[in-house]
A and B are shown apart, each in its own frame.
Chain A
């Protein structure tokens, strides 16, 4: 096991890593930017190093600053969290060269799968169904190829996620300008303008399989997470198991995810993302990191993914096999609470949290780095807390979600908590029969005139 882990991240995920490390008896080093001096992860870690000014390019993305902090503090492992350097194969390679273990997939596996178009090639090899699309990154005129796939199509950035660089194209005339716009956006967001095209499924669900692989050839796949409720390609609510997946489809998806991981020589945690429509699933990409929504799986399967990921990075064998990983012990839902203004186009609203009351009680977990008096900096994403709700079945979990969201009280900044309650209470969400256009189709987040009572 490691002696000291440096966390190359901030916010709730840094807190999450520190908690797991402490339970393992491993010391921790927090790194932070000047804008994050107040973040709770700094106080919680055994040591803290300021690595740069507010903009993440000059701090959390500064590989040399992170590695120098690791050297100065004698850390023997780096946990990258999600975002920032988490899926940067060059960084994980650099860690290895400096004799520091990168807690995550090895560079070879993330190179094979981390880039979406590369991942698709491996999937095809491993007999995992994929969405029809262009082969590899687009470098030449693809109008004929796209014609064959059939409009509408979706342009995606090879290097990233989170909706950046994504464009829907409905006709041949739009293709060229949209390709250019997507490439520019991808270049700005990820430093890599590579894009590719896929057929657009019109009413899919977004369903993903969490995997973990040790360095001894063992891979297990957990029950799926359903992240169908999205707004502008950003996940809002994640739940597990999916109300739309039957046990035999689940088994097929898990088997497909394991085949893919083995084909890529994958190690550590990863998420195999699928679109699901009309009883069929299509591989879209692998997220070579521990994702924001990992606690949903932790609740459903009754495992500690963060601890497992640290253990397998340290060379330990997975302590259980597929039978144990397949167990569904409850129904779980995650709500990402963001400091955003729902009445103003979900504009991030950084500012000072005057007061905060967190929900609690049975089946309620809160992962957060904020506290009363904390000022949310404007440099980073606006997520301030995650609520992870678990209960015996879906209806009970939905009721518990509403109860917990009602208990959450934050003053000083506007949050998306009310929006989550609207989603959970919506009859279409309750029915379980919806697709990724749920928010648009229900008009749930459209501005409404105040109701007259």
Chain B
């Protein structure tokens, strides 16, 4: 059985224009695979298809009233300040008067603040935006 070589050339030419390391072509029970030159070191898919966002929001994980800190403590979070992952950026005071910290899951610089002290917040409400480091 002979094989028509014309699709091979067409695919090889196309591969040069595309960022592909290997192509497999199958038709009617026959086919071929092509590996691009210099593809011994396959490009790994280290980077996600979309670059990670530069920003991430810190949201309320409860219902209550937002405060920047426990009573009597100084406000630490301002636009421009640096936050480490695990840092408390503020507190939510619930109806009972109990408060729980709002913890940032990310490290970054506070790029934008959406909330004022004393404002009512709901679950999932974005409080501030971090520019990720």
Query: Taking beta carbons and an 8 Å cutoff, which residues of A are in contact with B?
Result: 34, 49-53, 59, 64-65, 67-73, 98
Contact = CB atoms under 8 A, between A and B. Distances in A.
Contacts of B123: 34, 50-53, 59, 65
Contact residue range for chain B? 10 to 19
B120 interface: yes
Contacts of A68: 62-64, 94-96
A113 B108 CA distance: 55
26 contacts: A34-B124, A49-B63, A49-B122, A50-B63, A50-B122, A50-B124, A51-B63, A51-B122, A51-B123, A52-B62, A52-B63, A52-B123, A53-B123, A64-B95, A64-B98, A65-B62, A67-B95, A68-B62, A68-B63, A68-B94, A68-B95, A68-B96, A69-B63, A69-B122, A72-B120, A73-B120
A45 to B, nearest CB: 13
A21 to B, nearest CB: 21
Contacts of A73: 120
A69 B121 CA distance: 9
B122 A64 contact: no
Interface of A (DSSP majority class): helix
Most chain B CB inside 10 Å of its own CB: which residue of A59, A67, A70, A73: A67
Contacts of A52: 62-63, 123
B65 interface: yes
B48 to A, nearest CB: 25
B65 A72 contact: yes
A42 to B, nearest CB: 12
Most chain B CB inside 10 Å of its own CB: which residue of A34, A49, A53, A59: A49
B94 to A, nearest CB: 5
Nearest to A48: B122
Contacts of B124: 34, 50
A53 B64 CA distance: 15
A65 B98 CA distance: 12
Given A34-B123, A59-B123, A68-B94, 19 more contacts: A49-B63, A49-B122, A50-B122, A50-B124, A51-B122, A52-B62, A52-B123, A64-B94, A64-B96, A64-B98, A65-B123, A67-B95, A68-B63, A68-B95, A68-B96, A69-B63, A69-B122, A71-B95, A72-B65
Contacts of B125: 50
